[in-house]
Structure 1
Amino acid sequence: MKIVIVDDHPLVRRGLAAVISMQPNVQFAGEAKNQREALMVLEETQPDLVLLDLKLGDESGLDIIKASRRKGFSGKFILLTSSASREDFLKAEEAGVDGYVLKEALPEELLYAIQLVSKGRKYYDPTILENKLREDAGSLTDELTPKEREVLIELGQGACNREIAAKLFISEFTVKKHVSQILAKLRLTDRTQAALYANAIGLAKYEPTTTV
């Protein structure tokens, strides 16, 4: 997987390059500090994924996404930003970003985002996701059946399918069907996001058990 980094700070570019270079099957393909350089690098290297800063001095990373799409670039974009504002996130969604990662994230989180996006999934920083879920909660949860709500609560508490089946007196196959319906109705990609959702809206409270 070829990755290009676009950021207006040289130290940030070097740090990101060092992080991604530790991963197998990942190639650091190039870097840029502004829109002009970015479009040139993307055209020359045709990377699979671009790590892109939201604010590049007086320019916006979102303009790079739009301009590259007009030129036929089909790679994926992960936006790196210090902004957790709803307005910036909605603009990024509208621009079609594949990932939204806060710059305060740990290297492991960024690598996880890269892996997820490379497989065709979306990745949103947990802080952004929780804010988004709280705002969307009302209308979406109304679509769930009573049994689906019960399953969602159990997901939020970290239960696996077998545990959910035993507690709700249903089969594991039925649990899987409910989980699939929950993800579709809540517009989520996996059970981890469903668990975050349940906790974010107060439907569940995950308290990990500790062993001595």
Structure 2
Amino acid sequence: MNVIVVDDHPLVRVGLSSALKLEKNIEKIYEASNIQDTIKILTMNKIEIAIVDLRLANESGLELIRIAKNKNIETKFIVLTSSLNREDFERAKDLDVDGYLLKDAYIEDIIYAIHVVERGKKFYSQEILNINFENNFLNTLTEREKEILIEIGKGLSNIEIAQKLFISENTVKKHITNILAKLNLKHRTEAALYINNILKFGNAV
């Protein structure tokens, strides 16, 4: 099969291309750094797999995929990104991308994903799926419970949370009990780690 690596950073392109050249099933590897050049290459050549960075300088890798699909280019697309943002992943899924991988993935994982996608299946990074799974639980919380969870993440005590949100300490305790039950957590320390992990990766609360 033929593969194209689309990334605006030359070192990333060269590094990934060099690693993929060792694969027997990959015949030719193309490189591009922007939408225009990529579409030209995809139009003029039969390329089975495109590995596309989410952000291409001032352009969007997802916009590239949208344009290619509108032109009925028969290439399967794998997004390779450093973003764990839920909105980016959802937009990629809306475009029916075939794969979604993180840039810190091992080359063996990328090659495995290529072969999975080549066989007509989807391959999404487990880290991405975990973050979205966590957000599904988060959506079961009420707005007040979300507020309290955020304050727990900041390290505030029950009394401090009560004073900040103008509610009683007893009410805070009841909300925390509900939060732990809904998120299937045992301690407020786990709750703090949970919310900080989600906020760290840019997911909306």
In the alignment, residue 40 of structure 1 is paired with which amino acid?
Answer: K
Q: Distance in 1 between matches of 2:135 and 2:118?
A: 28
Does residue 117 of structure 2 align to residue 117 of structure 1? yes
Q: Using a 3 Å threshold, how does the CA distance of structure 1 residues 27 and 11 change in structure 2: closer, same or farther?
A: same
**Contact 2:2 2:49 (8 Å CA) reproduced:** yes
Q: Which runs of 5+ in 1 are unaligned?
A: 140-200, 203-212
Q: Which runs of 5+ in 2 are unaligned?
A: 140-182, 185-205
Shift of 1:29: 3.4
**Contact 1:17 1:28 (8 Å CA) reproduced:** no
Does residue 32 of structure 2 align to residue 40 of structure 1? no
Shift of 1:7: 0.6
Q: Distance in 2 between matches of 1:136 and 1:95?
A: 21
In the alignment, residue 50 of structure 1 is paired with which amino acid?
Answer: A
The residue number in structure 2 matching 1:173 is none
Residues 1-212 of structure 1 mapped to structure 2, 5 A cutoff: 1-136=1-136
**Contact 1:6 1:33 (8 Å CA) reproduced:** yes
Which structure is larger by alpha-carbon Rg, 1 or 2? 2
Shift of 1:28: 2.8
The residue number in structure 1 matching 2:180 is none
> Residue by residue, what CA displacement relative to the aligned partner does 1:106-143 show, whole Å, maximum 9, x if unpaired?
1111111111111111111110011223344799xxxx
**Contact 2:17 2:29 (8 Å CA) reproduced:** no
TM-score by length of 2: 0.65
User: Structure 1: which 4+ aligned runs deviate by more than 3 Å?
Assistant: 134-139
**Contact 1:20 1:28 (8 Å CA) reproduced:** no
Shift of 1:87: 0.7
In the alignment, residue 9 of structure 2 is paired with which amino acid?
Answer: H
In the alignment, residue 27 of structure 2 is paired with which amino acid?
Answer: Q
In the alignment, residue 94 of structure 2 is paired with which amino acid?
Answer: E
Find the residue that maps to 2:78 and give its secondary structure. strand
Shift of 1:47: 0.2
Shift of 1:32: 0.7
Find the residue that maps to 1:101 and give its secondary structure. strand
